[in-house]
Amino acid sequence: MSTLHTVNKSPFATQALVSCLNHAKAGDAILMIEDGVYGGLSGTGLTEIIEEFGKNVSLYVLSPDLDARGLDAKRLIGGIEGVDYAGFVDLVAKHDRTQAWL
Amino acid sequence: MSDVKKFLYVNRKAPYGTIYALESLEVVLIGAAFEQDVALAFLDDGVFQLTKGQNTDGIGVKNFSPTFRALGDYDVQKLYVERESLEERGLSEDDLIEVVYEDEDDDWEEKPAIKVVSRAEMADVMADADVVLSF
Amino acid sequence: MAYEVNGQTVECDEEGYITNLSDWTPELAAVIAEAEDIEMDDDRWEVVNFLREYYDEYQIAPAVRVLIKAAKKSMGPEKGNNKYMYELFPYGPAKQACKIAGLPKPTGCV
């Protein structure tokens, strides 16, 4: 049993990503969408925390949201995978439940 | 009954700054008619929804905190509140309103519906749900 | 839409629920009841007053099954049942009695 978590707010604006990381279980996936994609950037004040949690959960960003914001995938924390909308659907189907962190 | 699903309503927003909290409560009340297994989770700013002594007379908005106390009538018996979220905000269980339900299996005795749980326990509650609705 | 009571106009929505809950008076209740083809008697007042007290305490108009469960507890099983309530308010105790009680349509009532 595992959960797909989605986060759609910048971690620099709200607690959503950190709270999500605090509640995700090993084997869960976290997909950053909309402004949530800023959470995937390397070299930020949160990078270390996210890398630490990333050891137990799979991290994804929605590529169209990354592109829209002019962020190159090369700037992402290592191990974060970009997915398109079809990939988003696959992630939903692969997990037992989806939990949105608004 | 195998078609009973565990619904978890996750509340992470303070009550009056946005419409999320009120909308959540309305969906809970509507959803309660479908006789599913319903639980509510309060974490982060969501814990502010349950504080005592709310008075909205001055802001022209309905005070819906008394409505949480009606949840027992709607067979909602589990309100999980995260201890860490309370502590981070300088709150304790004593600052929260009282919500009770009548236990059908125990001679209709009134029991508290609010359960303060640790962050790890909250993660378990979430992982145990069939459907998670976020507000 | 509106009701007329003692020369005063009280606004309501297209289903007949009053717009401002503070406009309610027992006289208005009788007028709404008449529009619903219901004659108020002690039994009906008991339910209407019960609903108003419930709203006052919980800020919500109860769903039918909640009303019946609560009525059973406070008024006894001979009154806390569907048959009794629907005899008093044929179009639905929550819906019709709430309207007369000046409350919003019960949440979850479609």
Provide the pLDDT for residue C94: 78
Distances (CA, A) of B114 to A37, B54, C47: 35, 18, 30
CB-CB contact of C66 with B72 (8 Å): no
Joined together, the tokens standing for residue B98 give: 């009282």
Phi, psi of A58 (to 5 degrees): -90, 135
Any C CB within 8 A of B29 CB: yes
- CATH label of the domain that carries residue A46: 3.40.1260.10
**Which superfamily does CATH assign the domain made up of B6-134 to?**
DsrEFH-like (3.40.1260.10)
CB-CB contact of A7 with A16 (8 Å): yes
Q: Which residues of chain C have pLDDT under 70?
A: 108-110
pTM exceeding the 0.90 threshold for the entire prediction:
yes
Provide the pLDDT for residue B2: 61
The domain total for chain A is 1
Provide the pLDDT for residue C75: 85
Among candidate residues C31, C70, C109, C110, the one labeled active-site is: C109
From the CA of B44, how many Å to the nearest CA of chain A? 8
ipTM: 0.93
Print pLDDT tens along chain B (135 aa): 568 899 999 999 999 999 999 999 999 998 887 888 999 999 999 999 999 999 999 999 999 999 999 999 999 999 999 999 999 999 999 999 999 999 988 988 999 999 999 999 999 999 999 999 999
Question: Which residues in chain A have their CB less than 8 angstroms from residue B43's CB?
Answer: 19, 23
Domain limits, chain C: 2-100
**Which superfamily does CATH assign the domain made up of C2-100 to?**
DsrC protein, C-terminal domain (1.10.10.370)
| Total residues found in chain A within this entry | 102
Gyration radius of chain B's alpha carbons: 14
CA B52, C56, C110, B36 torsion-angle sign: positive
**Catalytic annotation present for C109:** yes
Provide the pLDDT for residue B121: 98
Neighbours of C88 (CB within 10 A): 19
Domain range for A70 is 3-101
Q: Which residues of chain A have pLDDT under 50?
A: none
Contact at CB, C108 and B29, closer than 8 angstroms: yes
Provide the pLDDT for residue C109: 57
| Total residues found in chain C within this entry | 110
Phi, psi of A17 (to 5 degrees): -65, -45
SS3 percent helix, strand, coil of chain B, rounded to 5, is: 40, 25, 35
Residue type at B110 in one-letter notation: E
